[in-house]
Structure 1
């Protein structure tokens, strides 16, 4: 079976959770690999198995090299392994529907590794993953390598997800649209937002910057979360991982922290055989405030 048809068949399993991003009507998946609504707005699945539902041209800030670096470091180093376990544990605690797959949507999924690793840990549960990102380069990589989720190129502001159809939303180090999250979440649904804490990638910040970017505060981000969602839990994750020289190179490639520093500082940071890298994340767990 081609990846195109396989991707369409996976999407058919969660067709109840999808809508046309143009008119908002329900959609169906045709056998030839098309997503179609009653107004005949049509979106073809690509050969890699993803579907592009963008309604206007859009360019992401990240390129293929960044996504490939992120893929390598997440697959090989265990940099985010405790985070993936923590999210999977939260999902296991939820009461998911018994008559259809629960839908776990990663909004801002990038190249898909976070969602893939979390779904691996949820093996045996009747849950389907869906990854959405505006960056086609990232979604192409996700669909090419991971056949365990539905992959969509799309804009959160014109989301292809139906009202109250998503059981768990993941928003990992990415911008939020809380109005859309509220619209998308099913009754009893959960939003899990990962935000960097003050020590996140401390070693990289301190090596590359001498100004205020050496430190980070997530107070404003948390305040915005709390204005829109009822926070039920905050899970702090604090650990360090030893990365070798090649992994440090990928760390630099994958993060916007390295986009505009002094090139000499980058060279000095990479001139070592290994380094301990700090990961500090806060997982904000919440429910819509009106339910």
Structure 2
């Protein structure tokens, strides 16, 4: 009964914003029917899962991102406040760029993972300035979206392809892209004429202590984001960029969550991973570029 309620509650919430959606198969409008399914004009049907999310993928995908990785990421974000300064920085940018604060603002997190960043940012935006914000999170990983829908209600969660997003043109005030792959053609299509894209990319010091411990080779220890920044500037009307740098002291539990969530461990040895896990605490650097762009007119 609780599972049925979760599905119905989510469907009722999505029905308030069904005008956002376009069928990923035929691009026609969609409606929530019987608080059970999202159905387009050509009767392509996408059911709400018992956890409350929708799967709007048109093809199957394989991903290395596991349930354990997403659970660890959620704990690192929510319990250790590892990314709290980032959430506040993004919310501040959103509030500064919203001209009409009387309207509901629509925020799409493209590549949202398990949803914690979007949930935190929406909460801060609501409390700081605007009357209300609708948060929409999409990710190619079903495991991530399942965890998001389980933990964060009053959001729209969907398994969806960044190259074929299930939304109409010009629907979003803000598109977030946080340490995640991008599709700039889709972002330009989805962004309102006065909307903004906020992309977060690693800077040279991001997780440097972990990288130096896990890898022998300097090219693995060091990181440059210059190509990503250049591509962003080519794809949007560039507004500004800022650098966010700080250091967090992680306890043993947080170290374990960091190791579980980062793909850095995929290309190193078990010995080096175990060696880092043996630490009781560690100072870890967060070093990020925050890029802001507008639609190219």
Q: TM-score, normalised by structure 1?
A: 0.96
2:12·2:35 contact (CA, 8 Å) conserved in 1?
Answer: no
Go from structure 1 to structure 2 and tell me whether the alpha carbon gap of 1:96 and 1:64 turns closer, same or farther (over 3 Å shift). farther
Range that drifts further, 156-165 or 259-268: 259-268
User: Deviation per CA, 1:245-265, whole angstroms, max 9, x where unpaired?
Assistant: 121011011000011212221
Q: How does 1:73-222 map to 2 (within 5 A)?
A: 73-95=76-98, 101-124=104-127, 125=130, 126-211=132-217, 212-222=219-229
Counterpart in the other structure of 2:51: 48
CA distance in 2, matches of 1:9, 1:229: 35
Gaps of 5+ in 1: none
Q: How does 1:257-268 map to 2 (within 5 A)?
A: 257-268=264-275
Q: Give the alignment partner of residue 256 of structure 1, picking from 246, 263, 268.
A: 263
Q: CA deviation at 1:267?
A: 1.6
2:10·2:154 contact (CA, 8 Å) conserved in 1?
Answer: no
Counterpart in the other structure of 1:12: 15
Measured on the aligned residues, the alpha-carbon RMSD in Å equals 1.4
1:96·1:102 contact (CA, 8 Å) conserved in 2?
Answer: no
The residue matched to 1:259 in structure 2 has which SS? helix
Go from structure 1 to structure 2 and tell me whether the alpha carbon gap of 1:203 and 1:187 turns closer, same or farther (over 3 Å shift). same
Range that drifts further, 254-263 or 93-102: 93-102
Q: CA deviation at 1:101?
A: 2.6
Counterpart in the other structure of 2:281: 274
Q: TM-score, normalised by structure 2?
A: 0.94
Q: CA deviation at 1:95?
A: 2.8
CA distance in 2, matches of 1:256, 1:127: 31
Q: CA deviation at 1:13?
A: 2.2
Counterpart in the other structure of 2:60: 57
The residue matched to 2:7 in structure 1 has which SS? helix
CA distance in 2, matches of 1:96, 1:47: 38
2:251·2:282 contact (CA, 8 Å) conserved in 1?
Answer: yes
The residue matched to 1:158 in structure 2 has which SS? coil
Which stretches of structure 1, 4 residues or more, deviate above 6 A after TM superposition? none
Counterpart in the other structure of 2:232: 225
CA distance in 2, matches of 1:100, 1:12: 18
Q: Give the alignment partner of residue 21 of structure 1, picking from 19, 24, 43.
A: 24
Counterpart in the other structure of 1:72: 75
The residue matched to 1:111 in structure 2 has which SS? coil
Q: CA deviation at 1:97?
A: 5.7
Q: CA deviation at 1:17?
A: 1.5
CA distance in 2, matches of 1:187, 1:57: 33
Range that drifts further, 117-126 or 240-249: 117-126
Q: CA deviation at 1:122?
A: 1.8
Counterpart in the other structure of 1:283: 290
The residue matched to 1:122 in structure 2 has which SS? helix
Go from structure 1 to structure 2 and tell me whether the alpha carbon gap of 1:150 and 1:77 turns closer, same or farther (over 3 Å shift). same
Q: CA deviation at 1:225?
A: 0.4
Q: CA deviation at 1:99?
A: 7.8
